Amino acid sequence: MSRAPVLTFTDRGIHCPAGDFYIDPWRPVDRAIVTHAHSDHARPGMRRYLATPRSLAAMRHRLGEIEAAPLPYGERMRIGAATVSLHPAGHVPGSAQVRVEVAGEVWVVSGDYKTEEDGLSEPFEPVACHAFISECTFGLPVFRWRPEAELRAEIAGWWAACRAEGRTAVIGAYSLGKAQRVLNALDPQAGPILTHGAVEEMCRVLRAEGVPLPPTTRVTPEVTRKTHPGAIVVAPPSALGTPWARRFGPTSQAFASGWMRLRGIRRRRAVDRGFVMSDHADWDGLNAAIRATGAERVFVTHGYTQPFRRWLETQGYEAGIVATDWQGEEADTAPEDSA
């Protein structure tokens, strides 16, 4: 007689019957284990939350007062008949994979992850398992990222060119994860580093959790191009092209995203520069991560699920697709929106 699966896929999210908890649920449940604090994974309305300490700090910043308990990386917790532990995902600071063991069978939910170290997030840690539920936001061979050092040099060079031309550099980067990676690429000695309020508030939360970041100045009405000549401004993508960004006089506006790999999306964004920066694994990273788990069964979620599942089947995996309400990186430029 076959055993019941460790995890099931429901209209509320991924459910563990043995422990009666959900992983990254998108509808209210009693107990939610959250992989990271991005809004498509950490939803409001859950009765109880469990996440890493850094994720909880960011979640409280975004969700307000919640009933939540921290679970540090590697510590095991018994929930009903299931044993749960969290392991670094390398996506953003505090992001985690969820390992669930029931009666000797291990399933792992990756959440969002990347395999290349960015000098900011806790590095991705492969977790051995029988079944792996993997994101595949960038699950096509066209998506291959440049080394982090090259990306940092490219951003620094653009900022230097802006200073030489008398322009203010304005770069759009999501406030949790990518914005901090951009900041880490900047030399504070090169010029002032300014931040939009949403970015600065998330930096404040992460600094309090021990995440090292360069000094920044929050943009207020008193902060202008005249008061901070030669500055770079890090802001949410929604601020690009708005009066808020234009207040800095002549600007060069850029966008940091994995989708900048696609020319059509670069054109639609109407920015001067597109930096191919993603907090998700690229094609090689996805394949390497899956191999490292030793899993025989792989379920894929959001992104290029159909072609990636077919690829996995050619590699000998038993592969399936899990429909989720997770939006992946930058939902406004999702794959189906740019076909």
Please write the tens of the pLDDT for every residue from 236-253. Answer: 999 998 999 988 989 999
CATH number assigned to the domain comprising residue 236: 3.40.50.10710
The arithmetic mean of pLDDT across residues 43-50, rounded, is: 97
Tell me what pLDDT residue 268 has: 65
- Residue 263 pLDDT > 80: no
The whole domain housing 108 covers 8-143+279-337
**CATH no. for residue 317?**
3.60.15.10
Q: Which of 251, 275, 299 is the last residue of a domain?
A: 275
Q: What is the DSSP letter of 147?
A: P
Could you tell me if 283 and 139 lie in one domain? yes
Q: Over 70: is that where the pLDDT of 158 sits? A: yes
Residues 90 and 159 in one domain: no
152 and 138, same domain (yes or no): no
Position 317 in a domain: yes
pLDDT tens readout for residues 113-136 = 999 999 999 999 999 999 999 999
Looking at the 3D structure of the chain, how many domains does it have?
Answer: 2
**Residue 190 three-state SS:** coil
Pairing of strands 105-109, 96-102: antiparallel
Q: What percent of the chain has pLDDT over 70?
A: 94
Q: What is the pLDDT of residue 138?
A: 96
> According to the model, what pLDDT value does residue 333 have?
38
pLDDT of 1: 40
In a domain, 3, yes or no: no
Are 168 and 270 within one domain?
Answer: yes
Cross-strand partners of 51:
70
Q: Average pLDDT for residues 34-39, to the nearest whole number? A: 96
Whether residue 155 sits in one domain with residue 60: no
pTM for the model? 0.93
pLDDT of residue 329: 56
In a domain, 1, yes or no: no
Q: For residues 25 and 173, state if they share a domain.
A: no
Residues 203 and 248 in one domain: yes
Q: Does 208 map to a domain?
A: yes
Q: pLDDT grade, residue 140 (50/70/90)?
A: very high
Maximum C-alpha span of the chain: 74
Q: What is the pLDDT of residue 271?
A: 84
The mean per-residue pLDDT over the stretch 147-159 comes to 95
The whole-angstrom separation of Cα 160 and Cα 7 is: 50
- Looking at the predicted structure, is the pLDDT value of residue 3 above 80? no
Q: For residue 281, what pLDDT is reported?
A: 97
Alpha-carbon gap, residue 131 to 128, rounded angstroms: 9
pLDDT of 72 over the 70 cut = yes
In a domain, 2, yes or no: no
Q: What is the pLDDT of residue 335?
A: 32
pLDDT digits (tens, 9 = 90+) for 83-94: 999 999 999 999
Q: Count CB neighbours of 165 within 10 A.
A: 10
Mapping DSSP to helix (H, G, I), strand (E, B) and coil, where does residue 234 land?
A: strand
Q: Give residue-wise pLDDT tens across range 307-339.
A: 999 999 999 999 999 987 766 555 433 332 222
Q: Are residues 72 and 163 in the same domain?
A: no
Residue 268 lies inside a defined structural domain of this protein: yes
* Residues 42, 25 share a domain: yes
Contact between residue 118 and residue 182 where contact means Cβ atoms under 8 Å apart:
no
Residue 83, beta-bridge partner list: 78, 101
Q: Tell me what pLDDT residue 325 has.
A: 72
Mean pLDDT of 9-37: 97
Map residue 318 onto helix, strand or coil: strand
**Residues belonging to the chain:** 339
Query: Tokens 């008193």 belong to which residue?
Result: 222
Strand order in the sheet with 273-275: 217-218, 193-195, 232-235, 168-172, 251-256, 273-275
25 and 136 both lie in a single domain: yes
Q: Inform me whether the pLDDT recorded for 7 exceeds 60.
A: yes
Q: How far apart are CA 219 and CA 260, in angstroms?
A: 26
Say what the pLDDT of residue 288 is. Answer: 98
Given this model, what pLDDT does residue 262 score? Answer: 84
pLDDT confidence band for 186 (50 / 70 / 90): very high
